[in-house]
Each structure stands twice: as structure tokens, then as C-alpha cells.
Structure 1
Amino acid sequence: MNTPAALTLEAPAEHPFAPFVRILGKGKRGARNLTREEAREAMGMLLEDKVEDTQLGAFLMLLRHKEESAEEMAGFTEAVRERLTAPAIQVDIDWPTYAGKKRHLPWYLLAAKCLAQNGVRIFMHGGGAHTAGRLYSEQLLDALAIPLCRNWQSVNEALDTGNLAFMPLQDWAPHLQRMIDLRNTLGLRSPIHSLARILNPLGARCGLQSIFHPGYQSVHREASSLLGDNSIVIKGDGGEVEINPDTLSHLYGTTAGVGWDEEWPALSAQRHVKPASLQPEHLLALWRGEVEDSYPQLALLSTMALALRGLGTPREQAFEQAQRFWDNRDTSI
């Protein structure tokens, strides 16, 4: 007697990544955060192309809707760091730049350039022009003579030559760049935009991070603490590592895994009027001393002070040192 074909069918095996999607998406009562180990394993599978595109999209958007935890961020970071092939390169400041500016010019680029002239080794990295209507660091590197590096050897050479290097995320973590590029497909930024800020791929003495949305600053500080990193997290102008001198700035710091807080008062008695348009040539004019402009000078000086604070200089001395650096800068490009 023949067995009916229907009775011999077997259900397909569950995809190995499916449990991670289920953990995040099992409804209001069933869903939970990933543990640090689960996050590390899940990100490892993403980085090794062991997931379907549908799973990737679902995973990223469930995380975005839930809001990632410090443990998840730490686990994701560990997975990325485990797979990096970067050599040992001495860096003072890790400077992620992923948001782009739309209200003010990226004055932080002049801050980084001035610090580099004074011996501070800075590694900058970014994720390209992924959102319309914003001005990104990558678009201004050539005009400001900031080296664009496409491999780690070039980064090392640029740092040894001029203490400043920029490397696109695409060239050292292409899988993460692909996830960032899904922004226009999914309609929302994914948690990868936040993750890129905490990675500090070369193990710099201090990682600077700018997180715009309220509440996320403390999550990033906690994640850095779990990782044992030194970092300062701020709500920077436009989401970039740049102090807004018109408002109070809260610094969420962690040193050797121990958290600390500082509040820096506004540097201007009243708010400056934002420019009608962003003119990149104004960056060069200010650097060369051809114009005086209160807002950018306050912004870049306080941003330089932020980096020096991250390297252990107390606030008052950091501002004094930043002013000296700026006053004595080499204005040639």
C-alpha cells in the first residue's frame, strides 16, 4: 500500500538567523532585548553574509523600532572588531562623521585640522552622502587638504605625515556601509548609523561620539563603558561631533569603563542667526583669517577643547590650549 505523498512531506528547517528576528519581534509581551552574546552572534552572521535580505531588513527595523540597548551595541561592536584586519596604528582621537550638516557648515573639520597641526593624531571615518540636503565631510576633504585614504597603509602614512586621516566606512567595513545605504530603501535610518560611531576601529585613546536623539547619549556611554573604552558622547550640532556654542552642552564621558558627566555652558549670550545657505568657501576664508565670524570660531574652539578634554586636559586648560592652537595655526592649505 502506497503512503500518500502528503504524509511524507517534511517542514523545512528554520533558518539559523530566524531566532534573532523572533526575539526582537515576538510582540509586546514576548519580545525582548538581545543579550550581549546574542548581539555579537547576530552581527557576526550579518557580517559573514549568512542571512537573507528579508531577515536583514526585518532585523534592522525591529531594532530601530525597539531602540537598541547598551548590551546590544557592545555585542555588535565586538563582532565588528573581531573581524577587522586593521594593523596596530597609534591614534589619539577616533572621530566618526556620519550625519552631515544642514544648518551650519562642518566647522569640526577645521577643529580637527588645527588639532592635527599641533600633534594630535586623528582618525576620521564616514559613511558617504546617504541623505539628501546635507553637506558631508567627504565632499570637503580635497578642498581642506585632508587625506582621503582607501586602505590602512595610507591611513598610517597620512597620520605619520600630518596627524590626520579620513577613511570611508566602505573601505574598512563594507557590510556596514551596505546596511547604511538601505536608508533610502527602508525609509528610515537603521541602528548602524549609531553603531558606526562607537566602533573606534583603531583603538584610539578617546572616541568622540555625537548622538542627536535625546536618551541615546547615555546608552552609548554605557556601551562604551561595557567595552572598557574611553569616550565622550555629546548631542553635537546636526548629529556631528561639533559643540553648538549657543546652547549648554552635556558631556557623557567614560574613562577606563567608569562614567562621568560635565556640563559646559553656552558660550554666547544669545543665539546666532543661522546662515541662509551653506557656502563651503567660507570654511577656507575663516581658516585663512580672511573673515571674522563669531559662531564658527566659538564652535570650532569648543570642539577642539572637547577633543583635548577627551585626552585628559581639564576644561579650562583645554579651552586655553585650543585658543593658542587656533591663534598660531598655519593658515596655508
Structure 2
Amino acid sequence: MSLAEHVRILGRGPGRSRSLTRGEAAEAMTLMLSGGAAPEAVGALLMLLRMKGETAAEIAGFAEAAAVALPALPQPDLDWPCYAAGRTRGLPWFLLSARLVARAGHRVLLHGWNGADTAIRQGLAQLAIPQVGPDAVAKALADQRLAYLPLERLSPQLLDLLTLREVLGLRSCVNTVCRVLNPGRARASVQGVFHPPYRLLQADAGALLRLPALTVIKGGGGEFERHPAKAVTGFGLRGGHPWEQVFDGLLPEETRRLDDGEADPVRLSALWEGTLRDPFSEAVVLGTAALALETLGAEDGLSQARALWADRHLPCAA
């Protein structure tokens, strides 16, 4: 089978082209990951999809096929993709949010790739969050209930498709596919987007993939990280059904941005240890953790996040 037929479907011209079906999208992804597709056809397919605009069925089909090719992983409680490029995000305070969720007893699997932006990888190292390959995920989740799986170790083939952005000069749907990939088949996922229209696209793809619980927000730089002084709208799923909710800001309106110019990853551990006092950054952590906890079923995620933060220096319960 050749990728040419899939390119033809998308590129026949006005009145004749159409979107790929979910099955056709799965076939196309299988071909692209196999290495057997002509690179010209891969580039054509990805750019035609960008020009047309991806559908939820296409994203779901791509993600299904990509997931089939992944190594087997233990099932975490929460899937947390990290694939933003760092614009307008600043320090990755959401890593502390993930740590709080893990302290609540939930197994959290972070996975991602951020191109030339090193902030997340530096933050992981600063916070001693294990960066592991597929064969070490189980131990990390058992020991710390928290692990980060780099895309280059999870699927080098998918990374090759993602980094075609450097060749094509434009983002492709592979970035969205990675966000909805859910490599550990968790029953709950939190996802961030940079462009608001993708919130509903990813929510609809999650529904097609039969994900029970999902929260998608426009987050800092495209990560799942909320600005505490602004209202945020969450899209996604609860009990497998479409869900949408507006969350009020946690702080008075202010002009401070998530990207406040601070880049020293030591600030992450300092905030956790209590040697740094920064109410704004603390509110980022608590607000983000609250959304994640409510995705996992908490009735009052913010109260739980605050309690976890107050007790963060106590030993974790077994």
C-alpha cells in the first residue's frame, strides 16, 4: 500500500477532496511509522491536512495507529502530555502540580518533547522527577507515582514525524496526535493547547477514543498549566460524555504573565521547599493541580490541592 492514495484523497481539489476517514487515517499513520512511505508523500499529507484543518476522526485514527506501535506500558491513573515549544510559558510550574497529584496517591505519567526548549527537561532534573525509558516506567510509578517518558525513547519514529516541523517550517497534526496519544492507556488525561480551537478538536478526539475523563485548556505556552489570575474554560469529558466548564480566576486580575522572565530552574525546587515565597507561582501550581485532581474525580480539587501543598513536606502515605 502507498501513501499516495491518502494524499490523493486530501488533494484532489475543490469539490473532490475530502477528509480521511478514521480508518484511512490509521492506515496513513501506520505507513508513515513503518518507514516505507516516500518522504515527499509524508510531507504532502501533513501539509494538506494543515491547510484543510484536521478532523477529530483523523486525529483519533492517527493516534490509534501510533499507539499500536508503542511498547507495552503499565497503566497510570493520569496521562499528562508535554509537547509545547515554550512560548509565553516561563518556568514549568506544572511539574510541581504533577508532583502534588502524585502525592494524592495517583500514578502520573508525563511524556513529551519540546524541541530546542530545555526548560522542562531542566525542571525535571531539578525536581528529581525520573526521566525513564519504557522498560523503567513501572518501577518509577511504583516508587514515586510519577515519571516522565521522553518521546525519543517512547517512539523514535513518531519523533521523526514531529520534528519534520524543522523541515516543513510549519506545525503539523502530529503535535496534536502526541497530545492525545495516551501511551499508557490511562482512563484520565489532561491536555494543554496554545490555539483555542484545538481544545474542542482534542476533546472530540478523546470521545472517539473512548476516554472516560479528559480536561483540555488553553494553557501556558500550550502546556496544561493555568494562569491563576484569569478565568479558564475547560473542555473535555466526564464519564465519557462531553463536558465544558468555566473556572474563575484564583487571584485578582493582574498583568503578570506566566513567562515573567525568570528562567532559573532552581526556583522550582525553592518554591517546593519553601525557601521561595511567590504567591503567583504557588497559585499556578495549585490551580493546575486542582484541575488535574478534578479530572481524576475529586469533588473540590482546589481544597485538596491546598491541603496537599500544606502537607507536602510530610512523608507520602503508602
TM-score normalised by L of structure 1: 0.89
Q: Report the more deviating stretch, 77-86 or 198-207.
A: 77-86
1:56 pairs with one of 17, 37, 42 = 42
Deviations 1:174-211 (A, max 9, x none): 11100111111111111111110101111112011111
Larger radius of gyration: 1
Q: Per-residue CA shift, 1:247-301, capped at 9, x if unaligned?
A: 2111112134311111101122222423234222211211111122122111110
Partner of 1:115: 101
The worse-fitting range, judged by mean Cα deviation, of 276-285 and 63-72 is 276-285
Q: 2:31 corresponds to which residue?
A: 45
1:291 and 2:283 matched: no
In 2, are the aligned partners of 1:225 and 1:256 still within 8 Å (CA)? no
Determine the structure 2 residue equivalent to 1:147. Answer: 130
Q: Is the 8 A contact 1:126 1:137 kept in 2?
A: no
Q: Where does residue 176 of structure 1 map in the other structure?
A: 158
Residue 45 of structure 1 and its aligned partner are, at CA, apart by: 0.8
| Aligned partner letter, 2:298 | T
- Report deviation, 1:101: 2.9
**SS of residue paired to 2:125:** coil
Show structure 2 runs of 5+ residues with no match. none
Query: SS in structure 1 opposite 2:86?
Result: coil
The 3-state SS of whatever aligns with 2:126 is coil
1:1-333 equivalence runs, <5 A = 16-87=2-73, 89-103=74-88, 104-127=90-113, 129-131=114-116, 134-150=117-133, 152-229=134-211, 230-274=213-257, 275-314=260-299, 317-330=300-313
| Matches of 1:295 and 1:237, distance apart in 2 | 14
Number of residue-to-residue matches in the alignment? 311
Of residues 219-228 and 253-262 in structure 1, the stretch that sits farther from structure 2 once superposed is: 253-262
- Of residues 231-240 and 246-255 in structure 1, the stretch that sits farther from structure 2 once superposed is 246-255
Secondary structure of the corresponding residue to residue 287 of structure 1: helix
Amino acid of the structure 1 residue aligned with 2:4 = A
Structure 1 ranges of 4+ moved more than 3 A: none
Whole-angstrom CA distance in 2 between matches of 1:38 and 1:136 = 37
CA offset digits 1:222-245 (Å, max 9, x no partner): 111011102111111110011111
Q: Greater relative contact order: 1 or 2 (C-alpha under 8 angstroms, separation 6 or more)?
A: 2
- Contact 1:158/1:164 (CA < 8 Å) preserved in 2? yes
**Alignment-mate amino acid for residue 290 of structure 2:** A
Q: Given the two structures, how large is their TM-score scaled by the length of structure 2?
A: 0.93
- In structure 2, give the amino acid aligned to 1:187: G
User: Match for residue 9 of structure 1?
Assistant: none
Equivalent position of 1:11 in the other structure? none
Distance 2:87 2:56 in 1: 29
Identify unmatched segments of 5+ residues in structure 1. Answer: 1-14
Q: In structure 1, how many angstroms separate the alpha carbons of the residues matched to 2:112 and 2:178?
A: 8
Distance 2:167 2:181 in 1: 24
